[in-house]
């Protein structure tokens, strides 16, 4: 609630600077008033809901799986980062300011950096110290690429490409962990997260200003659907993490059924 209140106050009172058109490449037309893109702004509430859902699930340590159960603070950190995706993206879409655009990319790198660092920590059988170092490096490098500027095909800004690259490295490490078989990784939540993110990206490509399907005046925006589906993918990724078990050990739900 604090982060939401701050970003809304920043939009209302112009704390993030003037409208310079950041994010205007997406289809939604800028409206008069202090929330420039209402659909693309409000759809970010999905990240707040997803982060709260992660926190609710993580409240029962038994459900956290092997690694998260040993380091429950990581589950809390992930919940916070998913929540922050909402205000971070709102900062850009509500204000179209330059600083708002930086906050949007920063919130994205916080999550992709976590995904990469957490996967590498488990792959190398190391602890949270290594994860923290990799996380910081991933976020700093991502922001450095973003601030350098430049564009690439399909993805647009070079910062988007860095974000995608970090996610793909994380996916590759998760696949390697599944193939390793010990500890046992969940397959279906991971596939569901990847499939949801893929669908979100396909929809994202249709939400550009120059796309034939663009309708700038409707509140049903493809980019808003991207936000909602990415929030679902983030929650499913957490469930993939929480389903990790030692080989031969049933998941929390099956253990409950066996006790009955």
Across residues 221-235, what is the average pLDDT?
97
Query: How far, in Å, CA of 111 to CA of 31, rounded?
Result: 30
Query: Residue 253: CB partners within 8 Å, gap ≥ 6?
Result: none
pLDDT at 253 over 60: no
| Dihedral sign (CA 88, 92, 97, 101) | positive
For residue 98, give both structure tokens: 């330059």
Per-residue pLDDT band for 258 (boundaries 50, 70, 90) equals: very low
Query: How far, in Å, CA of 182 to CA of 259, rounded?
Result: 25
pLDDT at 254 over 90: no
Query: Residue 242: CB partners within 8 Å, gap ≥ 6?
Result: 57, 58, 63, 64, 65, 68, 75
DSSP output for the chain? -HHHHHHHHHHHHTTT--B--TTTTBSSPPPSSS-S-HHHHHTTHHHHHHHHHHHHHHTSGGGGHHHHHH-HHHHHHHHHHHHHHHHHHHHHHHH-BHHHHHHHHHHHHHHHHHHHHHHHHHHTT--HHHHHHHHHHHHHHHHHHHHH--EETTTEEHHHHHHHHHHHHHHHHHHHHHHH-SSBPPSHHHHHHHHHHHHHHHHHHHTBTTSTT--TT-S--HHHHHHHHHHHHHHHHHHHHHT-B-TT---HHHHHHHH-
Query: How far, in Å, CA of 181 to CA of 116, rounded?
Result: 19
Percent of the chain at pLDDT above 70?
95
Per-residue pLDDT at 4: 82
Query: How far, in Å, CA of 79 to CA of 96, rounded?
Result: 26
pLDDT at 255 over 60: no
pLDDT at 252 over 70: no
Q: Token pair 């980062």 is at which residue?
A: 81
pLDDT at 249 over 60: no
pLDDT at 256 over 70: no
Write out pLDDT tens, residues 41-62. Answer: 999 999 999 999 999 999 999 9
Per-residue pLDDT at 238: 97
Query: Domain residue spans in the chain?
Result: 2-18+36-243
Residue 53 in contact with residue 235, Cβ under 8 Å? yes
């Amino acid at each position: 609630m604090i982060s939401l209140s701050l970003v809304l106050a920043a939009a209302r009172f112009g704390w993030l600077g003037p409208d310079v058109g950041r994010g205007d490449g997406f289809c939604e037309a800028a409206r008069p008033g202090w929330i420039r893109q209402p659909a693309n702004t409000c759809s970010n509430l999905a990240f707040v809901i997803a982060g709260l859902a992660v926190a609710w699930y993580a409240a029962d340590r038994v459900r956290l799986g092997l690694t998260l159960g040993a380091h429950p603070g990581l589950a809390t950190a992930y919940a916070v980062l998913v929540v922050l995706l909402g205000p971070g993206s709102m900062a850009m879409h509500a204000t179209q300011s330059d600083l708002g655009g930086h906050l949007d990319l920063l919130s994205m790198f916080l999550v992709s950096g976590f995904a990469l660092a957490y996967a590498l920590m488990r792959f190398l059988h190391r602890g949270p110290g290594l994860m923290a170092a990799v996380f910081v490096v991933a976020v700093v490098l991502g922001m450095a690429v973003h601030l350098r500027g430049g564009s690439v095909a399909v993805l647009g800004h070079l910062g988007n490409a860095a974000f995608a690259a970090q996610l793909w490295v994380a996916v590759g490490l998760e696949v390697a962990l599944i193939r390793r078989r010990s500890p046992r990784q969940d397959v279906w939540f991971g596939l569901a997260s990847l499939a949801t993110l893929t669908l979100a990206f396909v929809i994202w490509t249709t939400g550009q200003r120059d796309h034939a399907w663009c309708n700038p005046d409707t509140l049903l925006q493809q980019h808003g659907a991207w936000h909602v589906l990415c929030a679902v993918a983030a929650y499913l990724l957490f469930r993939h993490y929480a389903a990790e078990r030692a080989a031969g050990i049933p998941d929390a739900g099956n253990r409950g059924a066996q006790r009955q």
